[in-house]
Amino acid sequence: MTKIEKVLYTGKTHTTGGRDGAARSDDGELDIKLSPPGSTRAGTNPEQLFAAGWSACFIGAIGLAAGKHKVKLPTDLSVDAEVDLGTTDGAYFLQARLNVRLPGLDAELARTLVEEAHQTCPYSKATRGNIAVELNIV
């Protein structure tokens, strides 16, 4: 396990009620209702929140890789993250797909940037070896 030498930021939330509750950040910028996946009730779910955080972080990591290679990224770069909640033998698990769009970039260069981003992104590091992850360039 890697120990952080210097903390750059700490995200803080207060959550009540679990999947049927609410979450609010300490600065008030995040203030959401929570609901179970597939529910018709108002609110988002933890899998959607995880997908949003991971995809945003992953775009930042692609930017770092592009800077290293002196590549200008397309303005319409996007990542569609899909996080599945499922069961195996009665136990709950996650798996994920990151579908990356890098329009106008050579396929080999795009693959290089995505692979490097996957090594850099803290979300990717946190999931490595813990859940199945597919990286797709679409």
Q: Which of 44, 11, 7, 45 is nearest to 25 (CA)?
A: 11
List every span in the chain annotated with CATH 3.30.300.20: 46-137
Q: May I ask the CATH class of domain 1-44?
A: mainly beta
- Please give the DSSP secondary-structure letter assigned to residue 73: P
Burial (Cβ within 10 Å: 0-12, 13-18, ≥19) of residue 63: middle
The CATH code belonging to domain 46-137 is 3.30.300.20
Identify the band that residue 3 occupies on the pLDDT scale cut at 50, 70 and 90.
very high
Residue 1: pLDDT above 90?
no
**What's this model's pTM, rounded to 2 decimal places?**
0.93
2: pLDDT strictly greater than 90: no
Instruction: List where CATH 2.20.25.10 sits in the chain.
Output: 1-44
d(CA 131, CA 124): 10
**pLDDT tops 90 at residue 16:** yes
- The pLDDT, as a whole number, for residue 18 is 94
